[in-house]
Chains A and B, each alone.
Chain A
Amino acid sequence: MTHSSARQRGAQIGFRPRAVGLALVMTILGALLAGCNTGRSVPGTTRVSFMVFGDPAELAAYRKLVAAFEAKQSEVRIQLIHIPSQKEYRRRLAADFTGGAPADVLLSNYLRFSDLASRGGVEILTPYFVRSTVLREEEFNPLVLKAFTWRNRLYGIPQNVSSLVVYYNKALFDAAGLPYPEDDWNWNDFVRTARALTRDVDSDGRTDQYGLGVEPTLTRLAPFIWQNGGELVDNRLEPTRLRLLEAPAVEAAQWFVDLQVRHGVVPNRVEERAEESEARFLNGRTAMFLNSRRGVPTYREIRGFDWDVAPLPRAKERAGILHSDAYFIARSSRVKDAAWRFIEYACSREGQEIIAASGRTVPSNMTVAASAAFLDPERKPQNSRVFLDTVPVMRAAPQHAGWVDIEEIASDELERAFYGEVELAEALRRTVERTQNVFNEYGPGAVSVAVPPAPGH
């Protein structure tokens, strides 16, 4: 069929190429315009997009927060965007920034935010915070406010101030006739307990119940290095290299690796591959599991046994590692004032109480953290005070713009030593060598502000 005859035939059946082309262009333009959030949807209201991550319990809490905020006023409406996992959330964030259309209000942890702040991706919130009549600086934990400060400017309003703790299965402790962990237990007590709780129940030569589950990452190892008097980096304020080859760090790393290699109280790589430690803990086949507050909403669904939390065991001194997320406003947002109104509400006492009820957060507002909204003895974990007791000894990882890379490389190398595939010395040497490339690549300008040690440390 020739072009002209095709055109004629198209005309006979009502097909008009120009009209179809115009309709196509209009459709594409319409779609593009719809994608541009001008912040105005219903006349008189401003629409603010808010992207969150978390499991269904957390999503329910965010929905409650949004509903409560919208009930209090009628000018701002929130569009909640939910991404289930934190890792996917980061990827979505990258894609959204690439597309030039990130959500107006974002969540990010303190390890990631310096990257966003140094590149101008998020708004400076200092002027908003200073002007606020709802939020007061003295209500927030100073450590965590500092963690979201870069070059003396506040970029994020912290939502939580969590830390690494030991979750434990009370039923397995009872069955083994072991006392629950004391607040001042040490590394030896910890290993002894984990060994007693590691069992081959059916005597088939295969361990059925592990004493401990822990991810072999630098973030998990870090507090033990600090407890042993070691340091992660040469200079907390301007890190230029890792200090993992120094004796206190090597000793702590050896103790950590020995949990698997020597004592066998943690699943080996094959067992971990077959079933992850967190799943084993949920199924009642791992007695202790190291995690931040993040796990609580999921663990509250456990019906088969009772559980609680204990502080990390100590060595020469006590130390914990900060886990914290904050609310940010995207620099490109066109509705910053409305976005701030929402953040202001989310971080107010009322807003923090709503989120705290999900179990996910340790409120950054100290008054809320000390209230029944967080310490409610009727809600697990009963010993939530552990999180607050850890705050004075808590430290933060350096906020180097390349820290996520450094952490990932270190964890890749550490994992091999943890599963006995290479000697620890070799893993640490390679970690220092490989991460040095990252330090060199980013240079001193990549340094944001690292959180100084808490008073007394």
Chain B
Amino acid sequence: MPFLGGALLLVGVPALLSFALAFTRYDALGPPQWVGLANFTEALRDIRLGAAIHNSVYFIALAVPLRLVGALLLALLLNRPFRGVGACRAAVYLPTVIPDAAYALIWLWIFNPVFGPLNLVLGALRLPTPTWLADPATAKLVFVGMSLFQIGEGFVILLAGLKSIPREYYEAAHVAGGSRWQAFLCITAPLLWPWLALLTFRDVIHSFQYTFTHAFLMTGGDPYYSTLFMPLLVYEEAFDRFRFGVGSAVMLLMFLLTAVMIAALYRVFRGRGYADAA
């Protein structure tokens, strides 16, 4: 109850208030004025919103499955005992605890199109050297790539999921002559499905927010809005242009978009979730 009360007071009420702001013109200097849907029409007329929606959906569509697959493969790989497994697990988790600002600066250096180590190595190997953040075609991929190294939480959850599967199931499959691949398909995958569903929901929600600090520090949305994600647009509208109403409208749209994606995923996962939810 105390947690629920705190969450309601500190998260629920401010969220509802900011949803209400979406229907007002509010510049922080005077009282909000009711404008109905004007902020939405204004936001929809701005090409930046279209770009931000496209970029956010693009990021989620690429990053979420890749992050899940990456976390799953690493969890499968590091689920067996061997010398140094603890260090390997720590190494997988480590990038997740690096502060966002420091993480962004590291990658800014790595992806420097001329002086960055990545392009220096690619150049030395006579491979193509993309201009990364300077090119709208590759700029978003940089953010996807960055996100693939911060999968520590998903990795730990899936490792816990794998540990929860009784060893007897695998032993029975082995006795029955099943291969490792068959064991994965018939035992591991079905039993991990609820964990994967949970991570997918969580990652979709998280991914909407994930890009903010990195885009803010690394590109500011450039080149030509190709890395302008929805949270950055909300921030710019509210705190750069003093248009808290439009910012709230974009935030509400982001919230609705998240809800739509979660609902679609729910349909996909329906019947494959936890036993107690079925």
Q: Which residues does A use to contact B, with CB under 8 Å? A: 90-91, 94-95, 97-98, 115-116, 119-121, 269-275, 404-405, 412, 415-416, 421, 434, 437, 441
Contacts and interface: CB of A to CB of B under 8 A. Distances in A.
Given A90-B239, A415-B224, A437-B45, 18 more contacts: A94-B240, A94-B242, A97-B29, A115-B27, A119-B29, A269-B134, A269-B223, A270-B113, A270-B134, A272-B134, A273-B112, A273-B113, A273-B131, A274-B112, A274-B114, A405-B241, A421-B224, A434-B47
Interface string B181-217: 0000000000000000000000000000000000000
Contacts of A405: 241
A274 to B, nearest CB: 4
B225 A119 contact: no
Contacts, number: 57
A120 B27 CA distance: 11
Contacts of B45: 437
A95 B239 CA distance: 7
A275 B224 CA distance: 19
Contacts of A441: 42
Interface of B: 27-30, 42, 45-47, 112-115, 131, 133-135, 223-225, 238-242, 244
Contacts of B131: 269-270, 273
Given A270-B134, A271-B114, A120 B240 contact: no
Contacts of A121: 29
A434 B48 CA distance: 11
A322 to B, nearest CB: 22
Contact of B224 (A94, A120, A416): A416
A170 to B, nearest CB: 27
A75 B30 CA distance: 32
B42 A115 contact: no
Residues of B contacting A: mostly:
loop
B54 to A, nearest CB: 16
Contact of A273 (B28, B47, B134): B134
Closest 9 CB pairs of A and B: A274-B114, A119-B29, A273-B134, A98-B28, A121-B29, A97-B28, A91-B239, A94-B239, A270-B134
Most buried by B among A94, A275, A416: A94
Contacts of B241: 404-405
14 contacts: A94-B28, A94-B238, A95-B239, A97-B29, A116-B29, A121-B29, A269-B223, A270-B114, A270-B134, A273-B112, A274-B115, A404-B241, A412-B224, A412-B225
A54 B114 CA distance: 30
Nearest to B111: A273
Contacts of B134: 269-270, 272-273
A121 B31 CA distance: 12
A269 B133 CA distance: 10
A396 B21 CA distance: 35
Nearest to B224: A416
Nearest to A273: B134
A275 B28 contact: no
Of A116, A270, A273, the most chain B CB neighbours within 10 A belong to A273
